[in-house]
Structures are given as C-alpha cells and as structure tokens.
C-alpha cells in the first residue's frame, strides 16, 4: 500500500510540476528560517549551560534607592568575602571584569619581546581561586590554587598558543598595561561561543590587593560605599538552600555593612542564567527578542503551510475522479486521507532537506553578514538532542498541519458526484476557507511589515536625532599614563598638526556607556541630594572640542585639579532652581571637594535614547584623563591621524596606539537594535515571498477555472481592465480584511515595544496605511502576470470546447 501511495504521489507531482515546485520552495524557505530561528533561540537560552551546576549559581547585584530605583550588576568589592563567610553558599568569588588591552610577553632579561592588543570586549578578569569552584573549567595545566598568590595569571589554551606557540607557557611572564608582571601558572580550555564569561586571562585577585597603586577602575577594595558596574559577585548554593533563604542572608549582610545608609541600597539574588535575558541589568538578549524571534519563526512556517493548504484544496477538483474511482472500487475514507498525508510527507521531506541544507550553509556566515558578533552559533551541533527533536516535531507538525485539511476534503468526496464531474469549487475545499487562510496569511505578513517599519523608524530617529552637540569629525585616542605627561605641552603639539582644530583631555566622552555616578551636596544644604550626579572629568577645553553649549555663566578655569564645576540644565531642574543664572557661584560638593558652579550647559544625551538625560557635572581631575578628543577638519583626515599616531608613539613607546571616532562609537550603542531590525527585514521579505508563491499558484488556478467566464465576458464586450478587475478586486478585498486585523494588533504590539525607549517615535496612521499599500502592491504585482495572460486569451480558443 505504501509503495502504491508513493508511486501515485510521484506521478501527481510530475504531472503538476508548478504546484510541486511552489510548495517545495515555500515550505523549504519556511522550514529553513524556522531552523535558523531555532538555533538563535537555542543559542541564547543555553548560555553557560555547560557549567555542571549552573542552575545553582547566583549573582548578587545592587539596587539603589536614591531618587527612584536603579540597578547595577556590580557590588561593593568586599561583598564576596561577606557572602563566602556569612552565608550558606558552598563557594563565592569576586570577578572584576577588566578592559585592559595591552599585553606584552617578557623575556628572561625582563624586556618586552612581543606586544598584543586584546579586544574588543572584555577578555580579562580578576578572580579569586573559588571562581573555579563556582564555574566549571577544564584545566589543561595547573589548578585554581595557583591563583591564591599575587601576580599570577591563568590563560586559555588559545592564548597560550597565540603568545607562546609550541613553547611551555608555565612560569613565563606577561606584562599587563606596562605596569604588572604576571607569571603564567595555569592553562584552561577556551571559552565557548555561548557564554557571558568570555575571559581568557584570569588574574589573581590577590594581585589587586597586593598592588594598591594599580588602578583597576573601581572603588577601594575595602569600601562598601562604592559600586563599580564591572565588579561581580558569584555564589554557588547547596542543593538544599533556596534562593529565598539566600536572599535573607544577603539582606542581613546589607544591614550589617551599609550601616545607616542600608536603606539606600539593596543587594539582590539573581539566577546567573537569567542575567543574559534581564532588561533590568542590560542583558544582551532580553526575553522580548526571544519571543519576537520565536513568533516570526512560527509565522514563517505557518505561512508556508497555509500556502500548501490553499494550493492543495485548489487542486482538489482535478483529483476528484481519481478519488471517486478509488472509493468506488472499495477504498476507505481513511486510506484516501493517508494517501494525501503520504504525498504531503514526501513534499515536506524534500522541503525539510532543502531547508536544512540552506540553513546549515547560511549558519557559518550569518554572524558576519548581520554583524551580530555571536548572535548565532558558528556551526551546527550535531550532538544536540533538542535539534533532532525539533526537526522531527517540525516535520510531523508541518505534515499534519498542511496535509490534514486537504486530505479530509479529498477523502470526503462522494464517488457518484466526483465521477459525474459535478463537483464544484465550494465542494472541493470550501472557497471561504481558502479565502480565510489567505486573509490570515496576509495578517501575518502585514504584522511583519508593520514591525519592520516601526523598528526602522525608531532606529532612524535615534541615529539622526540631534544629540545636543556636534559628533562628526571627532576622533578619540587613549592616554595610558595621564599623570606622567605634561598635558598642556602634549596638547600644543597635537594642535601643531595640520587638521587638528582643538583637543581636550578627559575620562569619559559626552556620550558613552561608561559612566560614573556619585552622591553630592548643593550649596548650604545639610544633606546630600537623594539623586546622584553623573560625573565627567575633563579639562577646560572639553566644551569647545565637543561643541557643548553654555546657557549661563562661563567655562571652568584652566587647572590640574578641581577648581569649579559645570553642570547641565537637568541639574538645575532637579535642584528646583528656575533660572540657570541663579545657580552660578553656588557651591557644589562632589567627592568631598567644595567648589563653585561656573556655568550651566545645555542638555545633551549622555547615553542612548533608551534612557533619559542624566544630571551631569564636568570638572577637572588631570590624573584620570585617560582619553583625548580631537576636533578635526575634513581635509586629508588619513594624513592627520598618521601624524597624531606618530606623536602619540613618541610619548608612549611602550604602549599600542588605538583610535576611534565618536559618531561610530555612538552608533555602536544601537548595534543590537539595528541587527534585530535587519533580521526582521530579512524575515519579512521571506514571508512576503512565501506568500507571493501561494498567491501566484492560486491566481494561476483561478485563471484556469475562470477561462470560460473570461471568454464569455470578452465576447460580451469586456475590456482588459474589467477582466483584470475580476482578479484584483478579490485580492484587494482579502488584503483589506487582513489590514483590519493586522493594523490594531500591530499598533498594540509595537507601541508596547516602544515603551522601552524614553525618546520614541509615534506610530501614525500613515505607517499602518503604508504597510497595507506595500502588501497590496506586492500582491497585485504577483498576480498580474497570470491575470494578464488569462485576460489576453482569445475567447474563441477558451470557448471552443464548450
């Protein structure tokens, strides 16, 4: 019986090649995209799952209660010792993420023989030996105990090969940032792609404790009053200890060590695996994007299945006599049903193979094409059981979703009616059912188009909205040792380079994801304000170099230390002062330093448009001016930057030069959203294409069914436009009905998505109308060829068989 089913299937597919081709292409695209979406979701929901006890690993974070509530993944540095000694955790470790980039290999005489610039992104962390009790690493050489001593370093296998080749790394010296000599004491396996702990250099925490002069970028290691966002505390809990119990122990630590300020802080317990998706802690892939991608994958597979159902039921009239004969000679309804399921299975199997091949070939290059930086796995994990479960489940679902309804329709034919040829389209599959499926298909397509238009509009808004100062023509270079150079002389030499119009030394540029916030006190008030100030340490050339605008007062005076402050308009507003002029000359106390306010700056966006403008203070602190901004002319930019590099190398010969441009740095703030936009755009185009395949097949079949009707109409005087209207009118009605569903649903979903942005675009009615016009235009264009072809047939030819 099965052999007979397959033989009939093969004959039917050969006889209806266009039908088979459209179904295979549509299904393979839907299945291929479904696989890519599966790999995306699987990749991001299994981050760090390779650690044996990852479900019992927790991260302690900080909740600030100043003016409102804010959150940080960081904790005060002593937190980990308190967790280790005063809670039921099996193990606890500090992990200070470092962004140090310069590494030098030291020879036996203490001279650097090779220099390496690591990055982008964090590859280095300062950890206690217990870090390797919390997380699982495979040791190639050595053990975690080697990190108990100061100035020791464990590296990954990849870094061992990069720095030492075939030589033995153990006992060799690597110099960090030309400041610390670190002895290599161990080698661990390379971190996998799907980890939020991508470290390949592990420096002993004892190194920081033993080298007080080394600046790691955070507060003193013994203070509870400072929080650096890159200072993490991880804990491994015993199986019997619940998160609620651990939270109570952390609450006790909070009260004990924060003293009278404990109400301003809370330390929260979070499952480490959930941090990857946490919007509160700026996780790289929030759950909303997992849900969006999953929904898109379902949309694409469903669209392909609807295509199959539409075309299969449209073909039912042609197969009426075949089914009638089968039933007349004793064929049961179930046998006819499973014959069609077998045909669907063959088509789906072919489509599954093609879709899998397409997705597998695309996977290695997907990150590069989309500039994702690790959003997908780089290769197929053939040992992943869930992959095969998903493939089998998808095959079964597609076969029964796409094949059940057409199979039931065919199996339900009455033999007498079918053999007499009296079967009409309504009996052969329900015209209204097909119309409903087309409407549903266009609902899904229009939803994707609406999402694409709104996300694209928001990204364009963020990229093109004035940020509050001039970002073009600004280059930034690092200053490795600001305390050891004469910044005034260095600036003068920079300005002598043709093309350098201005220069300023600072810690953070006006817009950056790296920020410092602190408590402060205003004028004669007896207490610190309940909200915090964002600090920008910079010299008095800062506002001219970046084009910041003074709205009141004047610039701070030239100085190496704090002599005065500049604040932005947001500070004036939050202090309750109505006129910016009234704040000039008043005292401000930051970091315990009292100095007058010299001027008020016009507001600008300190971070991305997802966040509100922050209160900002600008003041000089020469020793931490680790960056220099250069305002450049557009003439011969490349030559100018080569001269800058030459001068920089004369000042810092033991370091590696690096530069960036401000507008590119700001654009990177929106890189993830832009990447997701590209994905939605690609999948929207594929969904439209799949929909067009089905629509083309339907119109082709409609043209055959309406051949005689068209012939009659032409004999009675109908022109080309009227004939085309037969097809266009029905398509327009179906697209319009889809719009009535898609427009309010799309508006609701995208309005909810936009709520994450402080500054956002409105969703106008024009956006929704544009979405339906795009869909309608594509639909009419798709149907035009077969419609015109049918309309141009000579009526004598179409009617002669009658």
pLDDT in tens, 557-605: 999 889 999 999 999 999 989 899 999 999 999 988 999 999 999 999 8
pLDDT at 408: 60
Of residues 537 and 409, more confidently modeled: 537
Q: For residue 201, give the 3-state DSSP assignment.
A: strand
Q: How confident is the model at residue 467 (pLDDT cuts 50, 70, 90)?
A: confident
pLDDT at 4: 61
pLDDT average, residue stretch 199-228: 86
pLDDT at 317: 57
The phi, psi pair for 315, rounded to 5°, reads -85, -5
Compute the residue count for the chain: 802
d(CA 223, CA 108): 38
pLDDT average, residue stretch 467-472: 84
Of residues 500 and 713, more confidently modeled: 500
pLDDT average, residue stretch 269-275: 94
The phi, psi pair for 519, rounded to 5°, reads -70, 160
pLDDT at 631 exceeding the cut of 60: yes
Of residues 708 and 151, more confidently modeled: 151
Q: pLDDT over 90 for what percent of the chain?
A: 36
pLDDT at 409: 60
pLDDT at 89 exceeding the cut of 60: yes
Q: Mutual orientation of helices 287-314 and 431-464 as an angle, nearest 10°?
A: 150
pLDDT at 270 exceeding the cut of 60: yes
Which tens digit of pLDDT belongs to each residue from 240-252?
999 999 999 999 9
pLDDT at 563: 92
pLDDT at 219: 80
pLDDT at 273 exceeding the cut of 70: yes
pLDDT at 423: 47
Q: How confident is the model at residue 667 (pLDDT cuts 50, 70, 90)?
A: confident
pLDDT at 428: 46
Q: Which residues of 740-765 are buried (b: 16+ CB within 10 A; e: fewer)?
A: ebbbeebbebbeebbeebeebbebee
d(CA 454, CA 750): 7
pLDDT average, residue stretch 308-329: 62
pLDDT at 239: 93
Handedness of CA 717, 719, 723, 725 (dihedral sign): negative
Q: How confident is the model at residue 331 (pLDDT cuts 50, 70, 90)?
A: low
pLDDT average, residue stretch 108-135: 83
Q: How confident is the model at residue 526 (pLDDT cuts 50, 70, 90)?
A: confident
pLDDT at 28 exceeding the cut of 60: yes
H helices present in 315-426, as ranges? 320-328, 333-370, 385-411, 415-420
pLDDT at 646 exceeding the cut of 70: yes
Of residues 644 and 715, more confidently modeled: 644
pLDDT at 211 exceeding the cut of 90: no
Q: How confident is the model at residue 418 (pLDDT cuts 50, 70, 90)?
A: very low
Q: For residue 634, give the 3-state DSSP assignment.
A: coil
pLDDT at 748 exceeding the cut of 70: yes
pLDDT at 528: 82
Most confident of 105-119, 373-387, 677-691: 677-691
Q: Other CB atoms closer than 10 Å to residue 382's CB: what's the count?
A: 7
Q: Which residues of 91-127 are buried (b: 16+ CB within 10 A; e: fewer)?
A: bbbbbbbbebbbbbbbeeeeebeeeeebeeebbbbbb
pLDDT average, residue stretch 74-89: 94
DSSP sequence for 226-294: ---TTEEEEEE--TT--HHHHHHHHHHHHHHHHGGGGGGEEEEEEEGGGGGG-TTTT-SS-HHHHHHHH
Model-wide pTM > 0.85: no
pLDDT average, residue stretch 202-231: 85
Which tens digit of pLDDT belongs to each residue from 175-184?
887 788 899 9
Q: How confident is the model at residue 283 (pLDDT cuts 50, 70, 90)?
A: confident
pLDDT at 675: 81
**Mean pLDDT, rounded, of the chain:** 83
H helices present in 46-151, as ranges? 79-86, 131-134
Give 285's contacts (C-beta < 8 A, 6+ positions apart). 44, 276, 277, 375
Q: How confident is the model at residue 469 (pLDDT cuts 50, 70, 90)?
A: confident
**Do residues 272 and 59 lie in contact, with contact meaning Cβ atoms separated by under 8 Å?**
yes
pLDDT at 766: 87
pLDDT at 687: 84
pLDDT at 582: 92
Look-up of token digits 């209207």: 725
Give 703's contacts (C-beta < 8 A, 6+ positions apart). 710, 727, 786, 787, 789, 790
Q: Other CB atoms closer than 10 Å to residue 160's CB: what's the count?
A: 23
Of residues 634 and 383, more confidently modeled: 383
d(CA 376, CA 366): 7
pLDDT average, residue stretch 78-94: 94
d(CA 367, CA 275): 22
């Amino acid at each position: 019986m099965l052999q007979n089913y397959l033989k009939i299937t093969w004959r039917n597919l050969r006889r209806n090649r266009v039908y088979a081709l459209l179904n295979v292409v549509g299904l393979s695209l839907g299945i291929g995209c479904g696989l890519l979406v599966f790999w995306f979701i699987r990749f991001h929901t299994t981050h760090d799952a390779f650690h044996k006890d990852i479900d019992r690993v927790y991260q302690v974070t900080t909740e600030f209660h100043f003016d409102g509530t804010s959150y940080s993944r960081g904790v005060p540095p002593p937190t980990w010792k308190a967790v280790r000694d005063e809670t039921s955790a099996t193990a606890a470790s500090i992990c200070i993420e470092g962004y140090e980039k310069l590494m030098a290999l030291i020879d036996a005489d203490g001279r650097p023989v090779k220099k390496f610039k690591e990055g982008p992104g964090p590859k280095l962390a300062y950890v206690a030996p217990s870090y390797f009790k919390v997380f699982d690493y495979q040791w190639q050489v050595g053990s975690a105990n080697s990190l108990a001593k100061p100035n020791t370093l464990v590296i990954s296998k990849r870094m061992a090969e990069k720095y030492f080749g075939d030589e033995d790394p153990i006992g060799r010296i690597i110099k960090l940032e030309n400041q610390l000599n670190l002895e290599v004491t161990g080698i661990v396996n390379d971190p996998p792609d799907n980890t939020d702990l991508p470290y390949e250099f592990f420096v002993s925490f004892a190194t920081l404790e033993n080298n007080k002069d080394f600046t790691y970028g955070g507060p003193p290691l013994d203070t509870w009053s400072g929080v650096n966002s890159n200072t993490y505390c991880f804990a491994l809990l015993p199986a019997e200890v619940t998160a609620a119990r651990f939270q109570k122990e952390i609450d006790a630590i909070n009260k004990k060590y924060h003293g009278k300020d404990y109400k301003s802080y809370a330390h929260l317990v979070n499952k480490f695996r959930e941090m990857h998706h946490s919007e509160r802690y700026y996780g790289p892939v929030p759950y909303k994007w997992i849900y969006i991608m999953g929904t898109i994958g379902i949309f694409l597979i469903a669209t392909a299945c609807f295509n199959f159902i539409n075309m299969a039921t449209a073909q039912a009239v042609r197969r009426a006599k075949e089914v009638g004969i089968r039933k007349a000679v004793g064929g049961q309804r179930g046998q006819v049903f499973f014959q069609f399921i077998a045909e669907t299975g063959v088509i789906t199997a072919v489509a599954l193979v093609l879709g899998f091949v397409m997705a597998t070939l695309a996977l290695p290059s997907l990150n590069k094409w989309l500039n994702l930086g690790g959003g997908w796995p780089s290769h197929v994990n053939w040992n992943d059981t869930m992959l095969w479960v998903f493939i089998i489940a998808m095959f079964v679902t597609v076969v029964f979703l796409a094949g059940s309804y057409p199979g039931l329709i065919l199996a339900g034919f009455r033999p007498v009616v079918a053999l007499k040829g009296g079967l009409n389209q309504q009996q052969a599959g329900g015209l209204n059912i097909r119309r409903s499926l087309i409407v549903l298909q266009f609902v899904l397509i229009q939803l994707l188009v609406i999402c694409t238009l709104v996300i694209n509009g928001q990204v364009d808004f963020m990229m093109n909205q004035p940020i509050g100062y001039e970002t073009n023509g600004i280059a930034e270079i690092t200053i490795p040792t600001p305390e050891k150079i004469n910044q005034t002389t260095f600036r003068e030499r920079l300005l002598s380079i043709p093309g350098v119009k201005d220069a300023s030394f600072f810690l953070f540029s006006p817009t950056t994801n790296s920020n410092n916030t602190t408590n402060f006190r205003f004028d004669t008030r007896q207490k610190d304000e309940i909200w915090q100030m964002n600090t920008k340490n910079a010299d008095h050339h800062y506002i001219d170099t970046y084009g910041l605008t003074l709205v009141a007062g004047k610039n701070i005076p030239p100085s190496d230390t704090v002599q005065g402050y500049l604040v932005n308009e947001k500070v004036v507003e939050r202090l309750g002062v109505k006129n910016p002029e009234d704040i000039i000359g008043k005292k401000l106390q930051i970091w315990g330093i009292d100095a007058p306010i010299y001027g008020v700056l016009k507001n600008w966006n300190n971070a991305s448009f997802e966040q509100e403008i922050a209160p900002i203070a600008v003041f000089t602190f020469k020793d931490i001016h680790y960056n220099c901004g250069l305002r450049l002319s557009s003439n011969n930019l490349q030559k100018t930057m080569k001269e800058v590099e030459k001068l920089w190398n004369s000042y810092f010969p033991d370091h590696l030069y690096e530069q960036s441009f401000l507008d590119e740095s700001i654009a990177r703030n929106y890189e993830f959203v832009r990447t997701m936009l590209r994905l939605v755009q690609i999948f929207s185009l594929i969904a439209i294409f799949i929909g067009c395949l089905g629509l083309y097949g339907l119109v082709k079949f409609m043209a055959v069914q309406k051949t005689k009707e068209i012939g009659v109409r032409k004999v009675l005087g109908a022109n080309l436009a009227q004939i085309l209207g037969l097809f266009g009118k029905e398509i327009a009605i179906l697209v319009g009905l889809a719009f009535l569903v898609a427009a309010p649903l799309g508006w609701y979903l995208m309005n909810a998505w936009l709520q994450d942005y402080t500054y956002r675009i409105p969703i106008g009615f024009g956006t929704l109308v544009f979405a339906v016009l795009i869909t309608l235009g594509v639909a009419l264009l798709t149907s035009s060829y077969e419609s015109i072809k049918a309309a141009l047939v000579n009526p004598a030819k179409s009617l002669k068989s009658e």
